[in-house]
């Protein structure tokens, strides 16, 4: 069955989420059951860093990322049969926020994950293998 990752982006500049939101998210996770493979919330960008590869050069910048209007704040991975079902779980997640954290704005990107990593080597006969 395909897996879909939802990536939550929003501003870091907002009031702390209320406890009722976390309780509602916990209930939603229980409702999802085995369809929900994993979730995670992220601390502010002041607790992290950003690495960039450009023209063969790596640069690492410590947070906070003041130039960023939005940052990734969390993610969820769903094991569901279709993009439509992943969209439905995302809508339910956003509905919980509307009810318990009014005024908070975000964007959630929904992406299907690869079933397995791409081939890493070329066999002597030209075929690919892992």
> What's the confidence (pLDDT) of residue 127?
67
pLDDT, tens digit, for every residue of 26-85? 999 999 999 999 999 999 889 999 999 999 999 999 998 877 788 999 999 999 999 999
* CATH superfamily to which 3-129 belongs: Dimeric alpha+beta barrel (3.30.70.1060)
User: What's the pTM?
Assistant: 0.81
> What's the confidence (pLDDT) of residue 55?
97
Closest to 28 (Cα-Cα) out of 79, 76, 71: 76
Domain map (residue ranges) of the chain:
3-129
Alpha-carbon distance 37 to 32, whole Å? 9
pLDDT, tens digit, for every residue of 72-122? 999 999 999 999 999 999 999 999 999 999 989 999 999 999 987 666 666
């Amino acid at each position: 069955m395909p897996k879909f990752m939802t990536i939550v982006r929003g501003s870091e500049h907002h009031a702390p989420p209320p406890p009722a939101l976390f309780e509602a998210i916990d209930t939603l996770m229980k409702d999802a059951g085995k369809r929900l493979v994993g979730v995670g919330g992220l601390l502010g960008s002041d607790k992290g860093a950003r690495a960039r590869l450009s023209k063969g050069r790596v640069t690492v910048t410590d947070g906070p990322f003041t130039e960023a209007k939005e940052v990734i704040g969390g993610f969820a991975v769903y094991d569901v049969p279709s993009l439509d079902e992943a969209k439905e779980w995302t809508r339910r997640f956003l509905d919980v926020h509307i009810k318990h954290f009014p005024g908070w704005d975000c964007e959630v990107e929904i992406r299907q994950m690869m079933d397995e990593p791409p081939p890493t080597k070329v066999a002597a006969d030209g075929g690919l293998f892992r």
